[in-house]
Every structure is written in C-alpha cells, then in structure tokens.
Amino acid sequence: MTTTKSATSRGSIEMSRVSTENYLKAILRLTETEEAASTTALAKILEVRPAAVTQMIKVLAERGWLTYKPYRGVQLTSEGRARAEEIVRHHRLLERYLCDHLGYSPEEAHREAESLEHHISEAFEARIAELMNDPDTCPHGQPIPPKVDK
C-alpha cells in the first residue's frame, strides 16, 4: 500500500496497470526462448532503468505473478502467465480486427494494438472474437491464445 500523492491520482494508477501488463508480456516473450528473463533483458525491452525493473519485479512477486531468483532472473507463475496471455490475446485479436475490418496494415495495427490491448473490456473482446468467428492467428501469423475461463 502506497501513501504517495502521485500514486493516488487516477493517471498514475492507470499508468501502473499498463506498465504491469507490459512487464508480464515482456517476461512471457523472453521466457519463450530462455528459462528465465534477466533484469538486463527486461530493462532493454521495456526501455527503463534496471533499478526500475528490480522495483517492479518486487511488486509483481508480491502479487504472486512471478518468482525471482538472484543471478537467474524471473519466471512467471501460472497466474502471471495467464494474465500475460490474456493481454497477448487482446493484442492479436485487435490486430486481426483492425486489419480485417478497418483497413489497417499489419504494422499500423500492431502499433494501435500496443495501446488498445490494455483498455478494451472483456465484453468488447468477446464481441470482436465472435464477429470474426474466433480467429486462430493474428495478421503476422502468430497464434491467438484461447480464452481461459476463470
């Protein structure tokens, strides 16, 4: 629980949710090829200082979304992985929707989805998935993770 003034403003809370989701996504991406994600690699992908990564890792570990081992890096817990995959699902469904229905190029759709993925509701996600008959892949050919029932 934080008592700083800035953290209580709506803007900061929103920023921190977006940044939390971007951390989970980056860790998911890195652990597709490596056993654990290093703080150095995360700092590079997320374009933040290593000290900021260390701080965020603590927060995410407290929430039960990842585990951290010194000198080895971070791994997502099953809950953290599920959250990360949900954001990837939003991203790829949005890309598909933007390309197929709004005439975006795959590159434009990617940029737009990077931002929108954090803000759509589950109802919106369900509507576009249904409209497109639950597509399997994004316009870049990457698989769209299935909806997981909670």
- What's the min distance (Å) between Cβ of 26 and Zn ion? 16
User: Total number of residues binding Zn ion (CB under 5 A)?
Assistant: 6
Burial class (CB in 10 A: 0-12, 13-18, 19+), 106: middle
φ, ψ of residue 75 in degrees (nearest 5)? -130, 145
140 binds Zn ion (CB under 5 A): yes
- What's the min distance (Å) between Cβ of 19 and Zn ion? 18
- Which residue carries 């890195």 as its tokens? 30
Interface mask toward Zn ion for 71-90; x: CB under 5 A? ---------------x----
For Zn ion, the closer CB: 31 or 110: 110
Which residues, numbered 47-66, are part of the site for Zn ion (CB under 5 A)? none
Choose the stretch contacting Zn ion; rule: CB under 5 A; options: 5-13, 53-61, 64-72, 93-101: 93-101
Taking CB under 5 A as the criterion, the residue among 24, 56, 128, 138 binding Zn ion is 138
DSSP state of 69: E
Residue 35, CA atoms < 13 Å, CB-side half-sphere: 4
CA distances to 11, 17, 50, 69, 70 from 87, in Å: 20, 12, 24, 25, 27
Contact 117, 109 (CB under 8 A): no
Taking CB under 5 A as the criterion, the residue among 30, 74, 125, 128 binding Zn ion is 125
For Zn ion, the closer CB: 122 or 136: 122
Interface ranges with Zn ion (CB under 5 A): 86, 95, 122, 125, 138, 140
